[in-house]
C-alpha cells in the first residue's frame, strides 16, 4: 500500500469511515493527523490501515474545536476534508421525489461547517450525494463559507472519470483561503472490471480472507445464478420459470438485481448491499457467485492489501466498503489541492 513519507501538509478526515478518503490523501502526500468516526467497525478498519492517525471515536456533534486543536498543537491545518452522511438527500432514499427524507443525519453537514469555521484550514474538501446540491441547506453553507473568505467551487462528477472502475455520481466541493482552487479534472482513462479483479484467485484457491468470503444461497437461487448468462447477463435473460413473480409486473423491481458485472465495462455503483446479488448487479462476470469483499473493495479502488476486519457480520463489511469514498477519486482531488498549496505557500 502506497504511503506518504515526510509529508509537509497536514489534513483531517471527518466522518472517516474505513479510511478511503484518508488513503487518497495519504497517497497524495498529506499526513492525516485526526480522523473522526463514530461506528466501531469502521474505526477498527481505519486503525488497521492508518495507525499513525489519531482517531476520535464519538459523535461529531459532541466534539469541540478545542479537542481537535489539542491534537494539532501549533501545526497549521492545510486540508479539512470529509463526507458527512446525508442519506436523506440521496435519490434512492427519496424514491425520485423532490423532497428530502427526514433523516437526523442530514444536519451533519452543518457540523462540517462548524469545524471549518473553528479551525480555518487553508483548504477544504467535501464529498456527498448529488442530491445535496439542490437543497437550501447546502446552498446556505456555501454562502457562509464564502463569507469566511473561501473561494468555493462545487459540481457533480462521476468517479469513473477519475480512474475508478465503477459508475458513481458524487458531489465534490473544494475551497481555499489562498486563491481560486478549481475542481480536478478526471483522467478520462477507462478502468474496467477486468483490469481490477480478473487476476484474483478463486475463493477456494486464495490465502486472502477477504477473497474467501462468499455468500451462501439456496439451491433455487444457485440455479438462477448458474443460468444467468456470463459477462453482463441479468434476470431478464432467465427462462420464465426462474423469473420471480414480482419481476414479471411492469415497472416493478430494479433491473440490475441478480445481474452479472461486465468484464470490459465499469461496475455498477458499489453500495452497502454489494455482497448480496438481490441488491444489485453484483454477480461475478464469469464465476457462479456474488463478488467477494476483496473484489468489491478493488472496484472501489482500494489497494489490494488494504485491511478490513473479517470478524464482523458480512452485512457490516459490505457497508464499510460500499459507503467508502473511493481512494483513487480522493487521491486525484487531494493531489490537486497539494499542488495548489505548494504554489501558494512557497
- Mean pLDDT to the nearest integer, 159-174: 96
Residue in the block written with cell 479537542: 67
Strands 30-36 and 54-56: parallel
Residues forming a β-bridge with 283:
260, 290
- Taken as a whole, the chain contains a residue count of 346
Closest by CA to 90, choosing from 36, 172, 169, 155, is 169
Residues forming a β-bridge with 172:
127, 155
Predicted pLDDT at 245: 56
**Distance between start and end Cα atoms, the chain:** 29
Q: In what helix (H) or strand (E) does residue 170 lie, and over which residues does it extend?
A: strand 169-176
CA distance 84 to 126: 8
The separation between CA 332 and the C-alpha centre of its own chain, rounded to angstroms, equals 14
| Domain layout of the chain by residue ranges | 9-189+325-341, 193-322
The C-alpha cell of 170 is what? 458524487
- Mean pLDDT to the nearest integer, 213-236: 90
Q: Name the active-site residue from 18, 86, 100, 274.
A: 86
- Structure confidence by residue, pLDDT tens digits, 268-307: 999 999 999 989 999 999 999 999 999 999 999 999 999 9
- Structure confidence by residue, pLDDT tens digits, 29-52: 999 999 999 999 999 999 999 999
Q: 298 versus 88: which is more confidently predicted?
A: 298
Fold of 9-189+325-341: Rossmann fold (3.40.50)
- On whether the CB atoms of residues 326 and 20 are closer than 8 A, the answer is yes
Helix axes 314-322, 40-49, angle to 10 degrees: 70
Residue 250 has pLDDT above 90, yes or no: no
CA distance 3 to 242: 48
Burial class (CB in 10 A: 0-12, 13-18, 19+), 66: exposed
**242: pLDDT confidence band, cut at 50, 70 and 90?**
low
The C-alpha cell of 207 is what? 490465502
**87: pLDDT confidence band, cut at 50, 70 and 90?**
low
Q: 236 versus 224: which is more confidently predicted?
A: 224
The domain made up of 193-322 is a member of CATH 3.40.50: no
Give the CA count within 13 Å in the CB-facing half-sphere of 276.
Answer: 13
- Any residues with CB less than 8 A from the CB of 324 and at least 6 apart, and which? 17, 18, 19, 20, 21, 300, 302
Q: Is 100 a catalytic residue?
A: no
Residue 98 has pLDDT above 90, yes or no: no
CA distance 101 to 234: 31
Domains 9-189+325-341 and 193-322 share a fold: no
Give the CA distances from residue 24 to residues 16, 42, 158, in Å, rounded to whole numbers and listed in that order. 12, 17, 17
Q: 210 versus 105: which is more confidently predicted?
A: 210
The C-alpha cell of 39 is what? 461506528
Helix axes 20-27, 327-345, angle to 10 degrees: 40
CA distance 95 to 292: 28
Give the CA count within 13 Å in the CB-facing half-sphere of 15.
Answer: 22
Give the CA count within 13 Å in the CB-facing half-sphere of 47.
Answer: 13
Amino acid at each position: 500500500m502506497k504511503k506518504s513519507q515526510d509529508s509537509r501538509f497536514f489534513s483531517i478526515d471527518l466522518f472517516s469511515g474505513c479510511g478511503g478518503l484518508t488513503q487518497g490523501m495519504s497517497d497524495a502526500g498529506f499526513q492525516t493527523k485526526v480522523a473522526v468516526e463514530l461506528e466501531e467497525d469502521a474505526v477498527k478498519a481505519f486503525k488497521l490501515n492508518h495507525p499513525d492517525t489519531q482517531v476520535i471515536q464519538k459523535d461529531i456533534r459532541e466534539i469541540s474545536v478545542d479537542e481537535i486543536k489539542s491534537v494539532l498543537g501549533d501545526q497549521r491545518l492545510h486540508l479539512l476534508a470529509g463526507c458527512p452522511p446525508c442519506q436523506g438527500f440521496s435519490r434512492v432514499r427519496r424514491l425520485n421525489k423532490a423532497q428530502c427524507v427526514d433523516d437526523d443525519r442530514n444536519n451533519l453537514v452543518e457540523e462540517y461547517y462548524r469545524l471549518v469555521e473553528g479551525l480555518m484550514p487553508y483548504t477544504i474538501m467535501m464529498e456527498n450525494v448529488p442530491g445535496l446540491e439542490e437543497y437550501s441547506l447546502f446552498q446556505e453553507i456555501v454562502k457562509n463559507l464564502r463569507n469566511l473568505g473561501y473561494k468555493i467551487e462545487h459540481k457533480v462528477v462521476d468517479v469513473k472519470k477519475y480512474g475508478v472502475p465503477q459508475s458513481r455520481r458524487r458531489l465534490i466541493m473544494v475551497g481555499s483561503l489562498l486563491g481560486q482552487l478549481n475542481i480536478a479534472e478526471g483522467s478520462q482513462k477507462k478502468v474496467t472490471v477486468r483490469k481490477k479483479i480478473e487476476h484474483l484467485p478463486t475463493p477456494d484457491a486464495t490465502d486472502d480472507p477477504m477473497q474467501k468470503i462468499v455468500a451462501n444461497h439456496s439451491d433455487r437461487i444457485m440455479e438462477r445464478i448458474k443460468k444467468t448468462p456470463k459477462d453482463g447477463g441479468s434476470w431478464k435473460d432467465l427462462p420464465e420459470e426462474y423469473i420471480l413473480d414480482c419481476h414479471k409486473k411492469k415497472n416493478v423491481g430494479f433491473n440490475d438485481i441478480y445481474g452479472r458485472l461486465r468484464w470490459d465495462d465499469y461496475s455498477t455503483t458499489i453500495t452497502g448491499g454489494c455482497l448480496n446479488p438481490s441488491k444489485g448487479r453484483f454477480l461475478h462476470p464469469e464465476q457462479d457467485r456474488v463478488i467477494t469483499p476483496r473484489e468489491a473493495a478493488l472496484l472501489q479502488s482500494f489497494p489490494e492489501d488494504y485491511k478490513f476486519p473479517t470478524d464482523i457480520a458480512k452485512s457490516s463489511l459490505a457497508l464499510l466498503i460500499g459507503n467508502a469514498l473511493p481512494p483513487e477519486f480522493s487521491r486525484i482531488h487531494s493531489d490537486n489541492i497539494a499542488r495548489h498549496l505548494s504554489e501558494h505557500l512557497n
